[in-house]
């Protein structure tokens, strides 16, 4: 007869593991002998090795007893079911690893891969990193607010950055970040941007530049984000309004000749 320490040694487990299997009801716990010790026979060693083998193969302890008591056909069915579950867990863990790997790039935090690709494209085109960060933070808000719309918006963005006028605007805006809001360069930028937006709206329709599904409060939040990160953007909005467009996130046509009081505006 064996002590618990000898049993554990023969089965290749720890004494703590033996006690744990006792507590789980997987391994019968013998009565104590007259000296106060529990004694185990060879059958307990065999049973413990089976438990260790099943647990080591990834079988949940809750199902080990079921397998120990199953006949050959039942055993095969249970093992198949467990294997299916383990495969699903492996796939899920692999997806977790892929997400963790993407997070290492920084931009992938809270952003779909297609948006990350768009940001990388802006960098490759030489867009100032500060402008890229404005885009990134804006897309984080958009992806959280309307994740189902991201593919549609990204398709539109990819079309737009294929046009050199928009890229030129991005590049010029990046240069303007180092200047004050009264920089005369912003007037020229406003002219170029207004021309580009008008041509885009005339060719594609106002809906192409004015996404009516973005509610005004959310658009205002997006605008504030851009203004805080790129102060010249606020001045550009004022200049654009005098050229027939208002808004930053949500562009809308306006009468460029009059302000809210009905008077004619001047640059």
Main-chain dihedrals φ then ψ at residue 258, nearest 5 degrees: -135, 150
CA-nearest of 145, 143, 115 to 218 is 145
- Residue 2 in 3-state DSSP? strand
Element (DSSP H or E) covering residue 245: strand 245-246
What is the assigned CATH class of domain 4-102?
mainly alpha
pLDDT over 90 (residue 5):
yes
Neighbours of 252 (CB within 10 A): 14
| First-to-final CA distance of the chain | 100
Domain boundaries, the chain: 4-102, 106-253
pLDDT over 90 (residue 153):
no
pLDDT over 70 (residue 77):
yes
Residue 253 pairs with which residues in a beta bridge? 245
How far is residue 2's CA from residue 40's CA, in Å, rounded to a whole number?
A: 5
pLDDT confidence bin for 227, thresholds 50/70/90: confident
Residue 245 pairs with which residues in a beta bridge? 253
Helix residue spans in the chain (DSSP H): 4-11, 15-23, 42-56, 61-69, 72-103, 113-124, 129-145, 150-160, 164-176, 185-204, 206-209, 216-229, 232-241
> How far are the Cα atoms of 56, 155, 156, 211, 267 from residue 246, in angstroms, in the given order?
65, 23, 20, 13, 15
pLDDT at 167: 82
Identify whether the C-beta of residue 216 lies closer than 8 Å to the C-beta of residue 250.
yes
Q: What is the pLDDT of residues 162-195, one digit of tens each?
A: 877 778 777 877 777 777 777 787 888 888 888 8
Q: What is the pLDDT of residues 186-204, one digit of tens each?
A: 888 888 888 888 887 888 7
Structure tokens at 43: 């059958």
> How far are the Cα atoms of 99, 111, 159, 229 from residue 116, in angstroms, in the given order?
13, 7, 16, 19
How far is residue 156's CA from residue 201's CA, in Å, rounded to a whole number?
A: 13
Q: What is the pLDDT of residues 89-147, one digit of tens each?
A: 888 888 777 666 655 656 666 788 889 889 989 999 998 888 888 888 888 888 888 88
Average pLDDT score over the chain: 82
pLDDT confidence bin for 266, thresholds 50/70/90: low
Q: What is the pLDDT of residues 237-263, one digit of tens each?
A: 888 889 998 877 777 888 876 555 555
- Residue 247 in 3-state DSSP? coil
């Amino acid at each position: 007869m064996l002590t618990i320490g000898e049993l554990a040694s023969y089965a290749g487990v720890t004494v703590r593991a033996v006690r744990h299997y006792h507590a789980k009801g997987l391994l019968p716990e013998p009565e104590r002998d007259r000296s106060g010790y529990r004694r185990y026979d060879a059958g307990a060693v065999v049973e413990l090795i089976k438990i260790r083998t099943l647990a080591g193969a990834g079988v949940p302890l809750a199902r080990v007893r079921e397998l120990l008591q199953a006949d050959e056909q039942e055993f095969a069915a249970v093992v198949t079911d467990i294997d299916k579950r383990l495969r699903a867990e492996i796939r899920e863990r692999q997806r977790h690893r892929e997400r963790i790997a993407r997070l290492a790039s920084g931009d992938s935090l809270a952003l779909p891969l297609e948006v990350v690709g768009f940001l990388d494209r802006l960098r490759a085109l030489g867009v100032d990193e500060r402008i890229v960060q404005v885009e990134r933070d804006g897309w984080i808000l958009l992806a959280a607010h309307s994740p189902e719309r991201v593919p549609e918006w990204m398709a539109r963005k990819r079309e737009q950055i294929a046009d050199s006028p928009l890229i030129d605007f991005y590049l010029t805006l990046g240069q303007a970040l180092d200047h004050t809001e009264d920089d005369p360069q912003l007037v020229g930028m406003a002219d170029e941007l207004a021309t580009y937006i008008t041509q885009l709206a005339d060719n594609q329709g106002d809906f192409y530049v004015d996404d009516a599904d973005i509610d005004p409060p959310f658009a205002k939040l997006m605008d504030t984000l851009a203004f805080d990160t790129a102060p010249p953007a606020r001045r550009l909005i004022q200049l654009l309004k005098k050229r027939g467009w208002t808004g930053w996130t949500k562009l809308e046509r306006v009468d460029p000749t009059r302000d809210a009081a009905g008077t004619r505006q001047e640059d």
